[in-house]
Amino acid sequence: MHDFRGKVALVTGASRGIGRAIAVALARGGASVAINYAGNEAAAREALALCRGAGAARAELYRFDVADAAACTRAVEGVVADMGGLSILVNNAGIAIDQLVMRVKDDDWKRQLDVNLTGAFNLVRAATRPMMKARGGSIVNLTSVVGEMGNAGQAAYSATKAGLIGLTKSVARELASRNVRVNAVAPGFIDTDMTATLPEAAKQKMAEAIPLGRLGKVEDVAAAVAWLCSDEASYVTGEVLRVNGGMYM
């Protein structure tokens, strides 16, 4: 467990899955956690209860669409005003609309870009001012193994995740002099609500592509994110930490 007492964290897409696990991991260290969600109120309230039960100094819900730049600015300003600052930003919100490139619809391409890449940009831009003013902070962007290695049927999704890597490295260079660190975590195949509905044969085939022989757990990703957000990683910036079981090296 890392010590996040006195830190304020905003985690996007935190109502379930990887985002929820990250929010809980930060709460366990005593952080105040702002939980972003897009629309699933019931799941968001479950995440809120888990964060409070895990030991968060404070936990609150913030409903907004990360693709809306103005909403992102208002949300960051709200977190700073309500919770007294912003120490940690985790850009986890994302969507995947899988399709072969020749069949990708314009709207599906644009929506993935808007949420996965522009959404992260919106929040990084909004968070930069309070973090620079405080002369410290940590930003972690959730990219993906397919952002590095590609995947058939995921041209749009892979492009957005590759874009996040470029965003991470560029902003890391911009903000380093103000002691604001910017890193990325690239999960592989993770056992989430999305994969839970897959047939066992399909999950077995996925596991066979992974040297460690299993799908990852949301806690595996959350642990990596928590470390990057902690003081133990104070000399780490501009990095992509792979949590993929050896699927891509």
Catalytic center residues? 157
d(CA 10, CA 184): 15
Judging by DSSP bridges, how do beta strands 58-63 and 32-37 pair with one another? parallel
d(CA 41, CA 246): 36
Strand partners, 9: 33, 88
d(CA 105, CA 89): 31
DSSP 222: H
Cα–Cα–Cα angle for 29, 23, 156, rounded to 5 degrees: 140
Asked whether the beta carbons of 57 and 45 are under 8 A apart, the reply is no
The structure tokens listed for 239 are 């990095």
